[in-house]
């Protein structure tokens, strides 16, 4: 028999569960269902076939050891994800460490943390477009390099390249790494650090054996945020890559634009499965519930 307190807990959780069901579970089930439908250039028909998944991967198996377009696209997406994750992790950890252990005043710490987040209140598209006048052939960076004599001609790789895509990703997603890591570091007892320092531990030893292990929950949460955003992104790839760089999210957007919903749904399910596997590996090493 359900007790009154347990019944009350169920009622309290019911609104959030209903939102989760309507806005996550049902759309996900609909996407999974559509991924098995058949389609032609003129129509989409309900069915239960695996042709959409075969179209994406059968040719890849046949063409091995060469990589097909699908595998190259997913590898490109994973490449951007890994590079952006590493850069945002280094920046996020460094900024969080400075704010937590080098700024003594709580007011100053809050002001600096606010300054880190204010630029992220603007639209992602606006922040991406702001790089174009800086990185273009006639942009400020190229003109400065030419004026300083560093180069004789504009550098074409600054814009519409892997470099510009990674730069925009780092610009957009660094805050998602700073906030959870800073939150984890703020819970570390400062007396433990002082005791370790008084015992003769070096700064590297304190960082390696104390700060990093006690911050791993925040690192994992920040990593989940960055990975999920980068893996599914198509706007940044399109704008900063000049519509010339492929990614899994860009492929799905193109297929939706061509009204190829079943194969787009199949690619979305594959992408979701990859992201979930990455997240599963991350949460094996930490207990997120402690942070939440």
Mark whether 114 and 239 lie in a shared domain: yes
Q: What is the pLDDT of residues 158-205, one digit of tens each?
A: 888 899 999 999 999 999 999 899 988 888 888 888 888 888 888 888
Q: How far is CA 188 from CA 108, 192, 211, 243, in A?
A: 19, 8, 8, 45
Can you say whether residue 149 is alpha, beta or left, with left for phi > 0 and alpha for psi between -120 and 50 degrees?
left
Mark whether 14 and 75 lie in a shared domain: no
Mark whether 76 and 22 lie in a shared domain: no
In the predicted model, is pLDDT for residue 89 greater than 90?
Answer: yes
Mark whether 183 and 263 lie in a shared domain: yes
- Count of domains for the chain: 2
Domain membership of residue 93 (yes or no) is yes
In the predicted model, is pLDDT for residue 71 greater than 70?
Answer: yes
- Binned at pLDDT 50, 70 and 90, residue 1 comes out as very low
Q: What is the CATH number of the domain that holds 109?
A: 1.10.3720.10
Cα 76 from chain centroid (whole Å): 14
Q: Whole domain around residue 166: which residue ranges?
A: 69-291
Q: What is the pLDDT of residues 247-284, one digit of tens each?
A: 888 888 888 888 888 888 988 998 999 899 988 888 87
Domain membership of residue 50 (yes or no) is no
């Amino acid at each position: 028999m359900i007790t009154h307190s347990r019944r009350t807990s169920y009622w309290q959780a019911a609104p959030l569960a209903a939102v989760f069901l309507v806005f996550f579970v049902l759309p996900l089930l609909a996407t999974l269902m559509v991924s098995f439908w058949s389609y032609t250039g003129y129509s989409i028909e309900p069915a239960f076939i695996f042709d959409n998944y075969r179209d994406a991967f059968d040719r890849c198996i046949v063409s091995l050891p060469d990589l097909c377009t699908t595998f190259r696209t997913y590898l490109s997406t994973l490449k951007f994800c890994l590079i952006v994750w590493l850069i945002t992790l280094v920046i996020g950890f460094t900024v969080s460490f400075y704010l937590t252990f080098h700024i003594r005043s709580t007011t100053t710490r809050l002001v600096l943390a606010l300054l880190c987040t204010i630029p992220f209140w603007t639209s992602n598209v606006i922040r991406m477009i702001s790089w174009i006048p800086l990185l273009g052939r006639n942009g400020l960076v190229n003109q400065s390099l030419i004026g300083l004599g560093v180069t004789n001609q504009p550098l074409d790789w600054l814009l519409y390249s892997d470099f510009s895509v990674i730069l925009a990703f780092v610009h957009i997603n660094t805050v998602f790494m700073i906030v959870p890591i800073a939150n984890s570091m703020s819970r570390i007892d400062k007396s433990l650090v002082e005791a370790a320092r008084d015992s003769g531990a070096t700064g590297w030893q304190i960082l390696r054996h104390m700060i990093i292990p006690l911050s791993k929950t925040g690192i994992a949460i920040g990593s989940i945020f960055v990975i999920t955003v980068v893996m599914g992104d198509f706007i940044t790839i399109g704008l900063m890559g000049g519509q010339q760089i492929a990614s899994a999210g860009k492929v799905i957007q193109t297929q939706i634009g061509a009204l190829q919903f079943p194969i787009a749904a199949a690619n979305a399910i594959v992408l979701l499965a990859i992201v979930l596997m990455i997240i599963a590996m991350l949460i094996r090493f930490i207990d997120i519930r402690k942070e939440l």
